[in-house]
Amino acid sequence: MAKKDEKTNVMRILEQKKVKYEPHLYIDSMSTNGVEIASIMGEDPDKVFKTLVTTGKSKEHYVFVIPVDKELDLKKAAKAVGEKSIEMLKQKDLLGLTGYVHGGCSPIGMKKQFKTVFHETAEKYDTIFFSGGKVGYQVELHLEDIKPIIKYELFDLVTEGK
């Protein structure tokens, strides 16, 4: 069970780089469903982002960060990273590759830095939320503030009508 004063690696990295963030805990619910998490936190699901890891036809890995109530469009995602095609990483491979478990995966603090693309709507909000690196933790910050930590691009990544 998460403790209110516990810090995750994501939080330590943000503090080390002097990035202002707001931690949010949803420790009474260990849900990994992003829409439920947004609801628990009383936030607009369009401002709460999930981190998805994929594998390209080239066998390179890519990270896509999209709103929790949307679906990743694999064709748009492949185009964003210059791949012929991509597929979702198998859940059993996530921990070994990234150091994160399903529901606690963050674009910050992975074992290796992969090319990262945020859905283009991330820049329209003053702050966005994404996983703090553990189930039960979210961080809220300005997208621009993570530039010193990870390189990212913005692209239309989601399926239409979702």
Encoded tokens for 54: 């994929």
Asked if 147 and 17 count as a contact pair (C-beta separation under 8 A), the reply is no
Q: Which of 39, 47, 1 is nearest to 22 (CA)?
A: 47
pLDDT in tens, 93-109: 999 999 999 889 999 99
- In whole angstroms, what is the distance from residue 127 CA to residue 115 CA? 22
Write down the mean pLDDT value for the chain.
91
CA–CA separation, 162 vs 158, rounded Å? 7
CA distance 83 to 103: 26
pTM of this prediction? 0.92
User: What local confidence, expressed as pLDDT, does residue 34 receive?
Assistant: 76
Q: What's residue 145's pLDDT?
A: 95
* Structural domains of the chain sorted by starting position, each given as residue range(s) with its CATH number in brackets: 23-155 (3.90.960.10)
The pLDDT assigned to 162 comes to 47
Of all residues in the chain, the percent with pLDDT exceeding 70 is: 92
CA 124 vs. chain centroid, Å, equals: 17
* Confidence bin at 4 (pLDDT 50/70/90): low
The mean pLDDT of 24-48, rounded to a whole number, is 78
